[in-house]
Chains A and B, each alone.
Chain A
């Protein structure tokens, strides 16, 4: 079984376990502070995913400009959500830049690696198909 598949199934299983624990906790103890935090993070992830989709669908920017724009917009969303949910105070709101920055650095590295691998895969298959045809 390839590593990618194992990781994928681990994540799905972990998500199902978390979901099961959460459903039981909500039934027995109601929405606690921890559950509320996870639900808010879920909502935040949903908003960011939708905005990201709209960015990719309607804007054609170079990858650097795209990442800088997204970084600013997403940090703004996190800050707004943070102020509404009480995660940040006026004294530590700049923490949003660090949180979003870490996620972005990871996302950029994964995206750059994935694109390189996908291009290599496609070009190799084109070459193989040509060899088979000739």
Chain B
């Protein structure tokens, strides 16, 4: 793969992908780049801020309130799980249980525990419980 990057003044950031054939890896690359352009409006300590999707580790629904977790911080999100599912289709986010959506780009490992539950370890060492039902969806992201 050849990567060409050049500075062009007066134009917004533009990514051009040239391919001999539109294959699955090309499709994945396009969706990955698209997902980098998505951000969430989140609130922490009364301040509103934009969190890029690539900084999101996971999003959890606790008592119908959504919380967004980055490497070290937690934010409150004013969106619904349906909105998150919509965004997840075009990004590395994937549902791992009824209440949780994880960013697979921060996934370090998945393992089966002794009680047969599944556990995902993220690259910040945080551990999440994965429902067996969603394992196949995670697999499809790789």
Instruction: List chain A residues, Cβ under 8 A from B132.
Output: 56, 63, 111, 115
Do A126 and B116 touch across chains, with their CB atoms under 8 A apart? Answer: no
The bracket for how many chain A residues form the interface is: 10 to 19
**Given A119-B110, A121-B142, A126-B108: A64 in contact with B135 (beta carbons within 8 A):** no
* B116 pairs with A119, CB closer than 8 A: no
B109 contact from A57, A118, A126, A129, Cβ within 8 A: A126
**Do the beta carbons of B117 and A62 come within 8 Å of each other?**
yes
With contacts A118-B139, A119-B110 taken as known, whether A62 is within 8 angstroms of B131 at the C-beta atoms is no
In angstroms, Cα B112 to Cα A62, docked, is: 11
Which chain B positions have C-beta within 8 A of A56? 131-133
The contact size tier of chain B is: 20 to 34
A58 B98 Cβ-Cβ under 8 A: yes
CB neighbours of B111 from chain A (8 A): 119
Main secondary structure of the interface of A (DSSP, over half): helix
Question: Which residues from B are CB-within-8-Å of A116?
Answer: 112
Complex CA distance for A125 and B129, rounded to whole angstroms: 20
Q: Are A60 and B112 in contact (CB under 8 A)?
A: no
Which residues of the partner chain B approach A129 to less than 8 Å between Cβ atoms?
142
Q: Report which B residues bind A (CB closer than 8 A).
A: 97-98, 107-112, 115-118, 129, 131-133, 135-136, 138-139, 142
